[in-house]
Amino acid sequence: MDIFGVLSLIGGLAIFLYGMDLLGEGLTGASGGKLEKILEKLTSNPLKAVLLGAGVTAVIQSSSATTVMVVGFVNSGIMKLSQAVGVIMGANIGTTITSWILSLTGIESSNIFISLLKPTSFSPVLAAVGIVFLMFLKKDSLKNPGKIMIGFALLMYGMDAMSSSVAPLAEVPQFASILTAFSNPVLGMLAGMLFTAIIQSSSASVGILQALCSTGILSYATALPIIMGQNIGTCVTALLSSIGATKNGKRAAIIHLYFNVIGTVTFMIVFYALNAVIHFSFLNLTAQEFGIAVIHTAFNIITTAYLLPLRKVLEKLAYATIKLDDDEKRIMDNRSGNEFALLDDRFLEAPSLAVEHCKQVINKMADISRESLFISMSLIGGYDEEQALRVGELETRADKYEDALGTYIMKISTKNLKKEDSEMLNVMLHCIGDFERISDHACNLCDSARELQQKNMQFSPKAETELDILSSAVREAVDISFDAFKSNNKNEADKVEPLEELIDTLSVELKARHIRRLREGKCTIELGFAHSDILNNLERVADHCSNIAVDVIQSDQLEFDAHEYLDRIKNKDNQQFARDYKAYKEKYRLPETRSFQ
């Protein structure tokens, strides 16, 4: 094998790995991230967990990626450690799909119809069609099939290039000697483990082994222990991903390691013990691509079948390795934990899932902002120091949410996103600022309430009634806009702007009425400042509610002018706006000034 053969092998491997990555990206995009979301929710039944793990891995073409995702689920508390075991086992089965796809390269027949099944026969056509889909079609839903076709074609081209480059090794005696040495179970297992740990992909490692079949000197006696070792080597990725994870996240990675090590060692002991008695004749046969796929699949199914009933033992081993400490027990007892566990970098490889988690965390932030605002509004009528401290705590939490979410959204935005995920990400990025500012206004209202209490000031019954009416309108604006954001309900979001317009009108009227009371000597200037601050903060809260509603409305529109929308919706010819405004005006009607003495 000369230098050009080495370069051909390296180039073939590069194309092979890129093809696998592109194929997985296309399949993941085509699934719309649905499988990952299903995996997150439906893992209570062990057998179902195995099937889901296998299905997700077959789609994303990487057992390591699935296991890393599981570590993230366990780390964030979404998935229990007991649920993770089945998914990890299923991932090992799902990864065998690649070897079956690659086994098609071994098809040899003079029959034209059977020859057409050989990938080298139809891959060029797939690549050409895929390029058309990828370059000339604009919809993301149509680009994904293009990625799948090109990825498959590149995978097969890379496999063919590797097979062609290693074929001359059949004439090299030293290479034959090395392969013979690997027929030693321990050496073969170590070789497979080391190589897979380096490239961090058991699918790619098995594919390279299948490429070596073209030399004609690879026997099943050599291939089998290498395949066993490859299953252990793939654990490296999950172990690396668990660095910095919670103890439970580390346990998930440890379970993956124990499952593969115990499964491999017991399988090899039983297999070679039987071989000593039965003498399996197939071990001396020349390995074929199809045979490699059969061994790879059979091994993973058999190990899963006998270790699934022992899943509790694996869980206990993980707890024995990484012991449960007092702090962890306390967290498990009170279910507190990390508020931002869902914003785990491990989920970034499944962008749709990461976006979904982002939405869940923002919904929590919205609840925090709403709670802080409603508490502060209640303090205006009767100040309570304990409740005021609660408002301050909630505002601090809202600030932390804004920082964590903003950082995570920026990370997600660098990924290859679906159109709807990209739009949702844009909405969330805008809304976290509004939620945070609402909690700031809650603190301002709390300060005003504290000032009233410290200076022993009190609004007149007339002013209190007016503020109660305005506060009720603001509460409804908050409820409608926040709920519209959570459910992405554009019809509900449309109801916010008429109410915000009324709140502006009420605020202007309340300021005018208070000025009249000042002129009549019924109110002090100092009390007037507090009244003005409260009105301004309530009005700003309504403005942020309007911003949130507009963001929800424009979420699926590429070109959207918020100012143009607001001008259009407030147009006197807009009957729906007029009807809603009239209904709100009737609902939040201010008392006539003459009814107060």
Query: Long-range contacts: 518-522, Cβ < 8 Å, 24+?
Result: 522/460
- CATH number, domain 342-456: 1.20.58.220
How high is the pLDDT of residue 595?
43
How high is the pLDDT of residue 335?
43
Please state the rounded mean pLDDT for residues 26-43: 64
How high is the pLDDT of residue 424?
87
Q: CB-based contacts of 530: which residues, under 8 Å, 6+ apart?
A: 448, 451, 452, 457
Bigger pLDDT: 149 or 156? 149
Closest CA to 130 of 203, 16, 22: 22
Closest CA to 496 of 434, 422, 454: 434
Query: Is the CB of residue 72 less than 8 Å from the CB of residue 246?
Result: no
How high is the pLDDT of residue 67?
81
Is the confidence at residue 596, as pLDDT, over 50? Answer: no
Q: Quick one: tokens of 440?
A: 């700031």
The length of the chain is: 597
Bigger pLDDT: 172 or 136? 136
How high is the pLDDT of residue 119?
62
Is this model's pTM higher than 0.75 or not?
A: no
Helix axes 3-31 and 46-60, enclosed angle (nearest 10): 120
Bigger pLDDT: 480 or 577? 480
Is the confidence at residue 433, as pLDDT, over 80? Answer: yes
**Confidence band (pLDDT; 50, 70, 90) for 333?**
very low
- 459-473: pLDDT as tens digits: 888 888 889 999 999
Is the confidence at residue 556, as pLDDT, over 70? Answer: no
How high is the pLDDT of residue 597?
38
Please state the rounded mean pLDDT for residues 126-146: 82
Please state the rounded mean pLDDT for residues 413-435: 87
C-beta neighbour count of 496 within 10 angstroms: 25
How high is the pLDDT of residue 44?
66
* Percent of the chain topping pLDDT 70: 85
**Confidence band (pLDDT; 50, 70, 90) for 336?**
very low
Is the confidence at residue 14, as pLDDT, over 60? Answer: yes
Q: CB-based contacts of 15: which residues, under 8 Å, 6+ apart?
A: 154, 157, 158, 161
Is the confidence at residue 566, as pLDDT, over 70? Answer: no
Domains of the chain, residue spans: 3-326, 342-456, 458-597
Side chain identity at 233, as an amino acid letter? Answer: G
Query: Is the CB of residue 92 less than 8 Å from the CB of residue 300?
Result: yes
Mean pLDDT of the chain: 82
- 338-360: pLDDT as tens digits: 678 888 888 887 888 889 889 99
- 186-245: pLDDT as tens digits: 998 998 888 888 877 777 788 888 888 877 888 888 889 999 998 888 888 788 878 777
Is the confidence at residue 76, as pLDDT, over 90? Answer: no
How high is the pLDDT of residue 116?
55
Q: How far apart are CA 18 and CA 403, in angstroms?
A: 35
| Superfamily in which the 458-597 domain is placed by CATH | Phosphate transport system protein phou homolog 2; domain 2 (1.20.58.220)
* Percent of the chain topping pLDDT 90: 27
C-beta neighbour count of 85 within 10 angstroms: 30
- 469-522: pLDDT as tens digits: 999 999 999 999 999 999 888 889 889 999 999 999 999 999 888 888 888 777
